[in-house]
């Protein structure tokens, strides 16, 4: 058995470049890293859709923003307490975007 790392199979495009390269993160599940796994992509797309809807409705109060944030977090990383601040919700969401939750 070799100690060779298995890398994610996703092809990613550099910000400035003409050719894709293979993701350099270690594969965790089914040959995909936590960021590029199809299930993780689906969850992020669903959360993004909810955030887009919230922005299009132009939720103006902090209560509405927290409600939308809790809905997104519940989809991605349950559970969220009812008294959680909007700052904490945004911190968790940003952590999720960076791929720190699995």
Q: Same domain, yes or no, for 46 and 89? A: yes
Q: What per-residue confidence (pLDDT) applies to 4?
A: 79
Residue 59 is given by DSSP the state -
Q: Same domain, yes or no, for 3 and 31? A: yes
User: Long-range pairs for 95-98 at CB < 8 Å and ≥24 separation?
Assistant: 96/44, 96/47, 97/44
For the chain, the domain total comes to 2
Q: Same domain, yes or no, for 92 and 56? A: yes
Lowest average pLDDT, out of 6-10, 48-52, 75-79, 95-99, goes to 75-79
Specify the DSSP element, H or E, that contains 47. Answer: helix 38-57
Where does the pLDDT of residue 50 fall: very low under 50, low under 70, confident under 90, or very high at 90 and above?
Answer: confident
Q: Same domain, yes or no, for 45 and 85? A: yes
Q: Same domain, yes or no, for 63 and 97? A: yes
Q: Same domain, yes or no, for 46 and 32? A: no
Look up residue 37 and give its two tokens.
Answer: 């796994």
> What are the tens digits of pLDDT across the range 15-38?
887 888 888 898 888 889 988 899
Per the structure, the complete domain to which residue 65 belongs is given by 41-102
What are the distances in angstroms from CA 17 to CA 21, 25, 66, 74? 10, 19, 39, 37
Q: Same domain, yes or no, for 25 and 48? A: no
Q: What per-residue confidence (pLDDT) applies to 17?
A: 78
> What are the tens digits of pLDDT across the range 59-102?
566 667 677 777 776 776 655 566 777 777 777 777 776 666 54
């Amino acid at each position: 058995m070799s100690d060779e790392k298995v890398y994610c199979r996703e092809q990613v495009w550099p910000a400035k470049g003409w050719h894709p390269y293979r993701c350099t993160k270690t594969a965790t599940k089914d040959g995909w890293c936590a960021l590029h796994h199809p299930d993780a992509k689906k969850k992020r797309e669903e959360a993004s859709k909810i955030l887009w809807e919230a922005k299009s409705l132009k939720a103006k109060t902090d209560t509405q923003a927290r409600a939308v944030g809790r809905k997104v977090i519940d989809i991605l990383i349950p559970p969220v307490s009812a008294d959680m601040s909007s700052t904490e919700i945004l911190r968790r969401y940003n952590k999720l975007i960076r791929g720190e939750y699995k």
